[in-house]
Copies of this chain bind each other. A is one copy, B any other.
Amino acid sequence: MAFFFNYQETTSEKAGLPPGTAVYVGEERTGPIKVTLTDYDRDNYTSLAELDEDNLKHLATTSSCTWLNIDGIHDVELIKKVGDIFNLHSLTVEDILNTRQRAKVEIYDNYIYFVARLPEFDEENKQVTLEQVSFILTDHVLLTFQEKESNAFNEVRKRIATGKGRIRKMCVDYLTYALLDSVVDNFFVVLENMGEELEELEEELLENPQPSTLHRIHLMKREMILLRKAVWPLREMIGTIQRDEVTFLGQEISFYLRDLYDHTVQVMETVETFRDIISGMLDIYLSSVSHRTNEVMKVLTIFAAIFIPLTFIAGLYGMNFNTAKSPFNMPELNWAYGYPFALGLMATVTIGMVIFFKRNKWF
């Protein structure tokens, strides 16, 4: 339930504050902030691990492509300084710091602002976390802000460093696309893990359904609700930038964006399919559990039913009518074969009932 708790606690702290106030809203963190400044064009490539203001201003004026990535946004002053350098609207700075945004795109005069949620699957707890990534795209500078250090963009970094593929031949618009593509690919990775989990659950469901199975199904269901909440606006956002001719995004990457959009739709459909499957699993669980209970109850009830008349017969011949000397008072007790007769009666009743139950297909 941690997600919901954080969610409310933090955004409510802002109630009443003037809009555009830069307040960090998110899990409390104190770790170091990692800054990576990458500058590249077709031929050159430099990478710095610190934020040198002058350097940055200089790069902003050259024609090379510059990518500034900041992992960790709890240092409000730093983010404000970056906002000042790149002339960002106060609402944008507020949005970067508020880590509970839904995916959206906002177009300003001098830059475009994207937000997306990057999913990661925690193998240990079998849980999905969703970190926020903000993108500021200007003419040839891309700023990205992540909540904490993650490996999601390492492959892209390697491609820039090695110059493989198209990435160095095009500028930051293609880089933006490549990073969004990594985000969408991460959804596929998460869904793959969930798919494996689903498979395991399904086997458990068929072989030995436990209350814990139900619990895991419910956790899966809730995670699907969260994933869905993250994917729908992402699709919307990518649809918007693909459909509208957005500044700073060159014509030549429209094919890529269309492809990306298709992938998001695919993610969305898989989420919906998983939801359908999970709700089917819930039905199977409930009906199989109730089937098992019914089976146990039925067998035991039948078992009891067979003994009921036997016990009655035993009770019958336990009556004390034999004390009165009358030929009508339990003559069976005085028969030489009284006891075998009683046992035989019991056997007959038992066999009769078993046949009756079998015929009615009760077991």
In angstroms, Cα B328 to Cα A334, docked, is 11
Closest residue of chain B to A174 (Cβ to Cβ) is: B19
In angstroms, Cα B8 to Cα A159, docked, is 24
- Are B19 and A256 interface neighbours, CB within 8 A? yes
| Cβ-defined partner of A181 (8 Å) among B19, B181, B304 | B19
Assess whether A102 is interfacial by the CB under 8 Å rule. Answer: yes
How many copies the complex holds: the figure is 5
Chain B contacts for A61, CB-based, 8 A: none
Segment among A68-76, A129-137, A142-150, A278-286 that sits at the interface with chain B: A278-286
Size band of the A side of the interface?
A: 35 or more
* CB-contacts of A152-181 with B (<8 A): 154-156, 159, 164-167, 177-178, 181
| Cβ-defined partner of A300 (8 Å) among B192, B301, B320 | B301
Q: Could you mark each residue 239-255 of chain A with 1 if its beta carbon is under 8 Å from any beta carbon of chain B, else 0?
A: 00000000000000001
Chain B contacts for A336, CB-based, 8 A: 324, 326, 328-329
* CB-contacts of A293-337 with B (<8 A): 293-294, 296-298, 300-305, 307-312, 314-324, 326, 328-330, 332-337
A96 to chain B, nearest CB (A): 13
Q: Could you mark each residue 84-111 of chain A with 1 if its beta carbon is under 8 Å from any beta carbon of chain B, else 0?
A: 0000010100010000111010101000
- Are A199 and B5 interface neighbours, CB within 8 A? yes
Closest residue of chain B to A214 (Cβ to Cβ) is: B287
- Are B321 and A323 interface neighbours, CB within 8 A? no
Chain B contacts for A308, CB-based, 8 A: 303-304, 307, 311
Segment among A28-36, A39-47, A48-56, A266-274 that sits at the interface with chain B: A266-274
A226 to chain B, nearest CB (A): 8
- Are B188 and A12 interface neighbours, CB within 8 A? yes
- Are A318 and B314 interface neighbours, CB within 8 A? yes
Assess whether A81 is interfacial by the CB under 8 Å rule. Answer: no
In angstroms, Cα B270 to Cα A21, docked, is 23
In angstroms, Cα B262 to Cα A101, docked, is 9
- Are A189 and B326 interface neighbours, CB within 8 A? no
Q: Which among A16, A302, A323 has the greatest number of chain B C-beta atoms within 10 A?
A: A16
- Beyond A316-B314, A321-B342, A330-B320, whether A259 also contacts B19 by CB under 8 A is yes
Other A-B contacts than A16-B182, A304-B304, A310-B312, 15 sampled, CB-CB below 8 A, are A1-B195, A1-B202, A5-B199, A8-B195, A12-B188, A18-B178, A20-B165, A21-B165, A218-B280, A218-B284, A221-B280, A315-B315, A317-B319, A320-B330, A320-B333
What are 25 A-B contacts with C-beta separation under 8 Å? A5-B196, A12-B185, A14-B185, A15-B189, A16-B155, A20-B256, A91-B255, A100-B266, A211-B291, A226-B273, A300-B302, A304-B305, A307-B308, A307-B312, A317-B320, A317-B321, A318-B318, A319-B339, A321-B332, A321-B342, A324-B336, A328-B336, A328-B339, A329-B338, A330-B339
